[in-house]
């Protein structure tokens, strides 16, 4: 793992959360995008060498919608930047971690992503991220 890539925060509504985080972080949102396959709309903020990702559900049955129904808005996941996501998934599975995604998929912000199940990572939802090749 190279560094914390971003912290994911579930929000009810990006249109109200973005101005709040712009004021809190004293920086503008640099990117918004929708990841249809995950049923989520995202907004990103740079904070030093890491980022904050706001997540709004775009489908009622999406993982973010379910998280918000159960927990309300707040901290959702920590994402780590990795050099080789395929190798990290194999390493972590061999070390006993339960994978939500057996292989990487396309995510927001030009990343390949995969998640570890919180049951195997001390209650924390962990995302692995690798920059897509150009």
Q: Domain tally for the chain? A: 1
Question: Average per-residue pLDDT in the chain?
Answer: 95
The predicted structure's pLDDT at residue 88: 96
What is the pLDDT confidence band of residue 50, given thresholds at 50, 70 and 90?
A: very high
CATH code assigned at 68: 3.10.180.10
The contacts of residue 106 (CB under 8 Å, 6+ apart) are: 35, 37, 112, 113, 132
* Residue 86 structural domain: 3-131
Confidence of residue 113 (pLDDT cuts 50, 70, 90): very high
Task: Please give the average per-residue pLDDT across 29-34, as a whole number.
Answer: 96
Euclidean distance between CA atoms 21 and 132, whole angstroms: 27
Closest to 103 in 3D by CA, of 113, 95, 111, 91: 113
């Amino acid at each position: 793992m190279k560094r914390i890539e971003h912290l994911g925060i579930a929000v009810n509504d990006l249109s109200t959360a973005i101005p709040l985080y712009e004021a809190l972080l004293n920086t503008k949102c640099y990117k918004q995008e929708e990841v249809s396959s995950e049923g989520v709309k995202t907004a990103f903020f740079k904070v030093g060498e890491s980022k904050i990702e706001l997540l709004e559900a775009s489908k009622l049955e999406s993982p973010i919608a379910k998280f918000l129904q159960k927990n309300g808005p707040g901290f959702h996941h920590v994402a780590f930047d990795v050099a080789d996501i395929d190798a990290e998934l194999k390493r972590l599975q061999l070390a006993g971690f339960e994978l939500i995604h057996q292989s990487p998929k396309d995510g927001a912000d030009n990343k390949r992503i995969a998640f570890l199940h919180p049951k195997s990572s001390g209650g924390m939802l962990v995302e692995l991220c690798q920059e897509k090749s150009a």
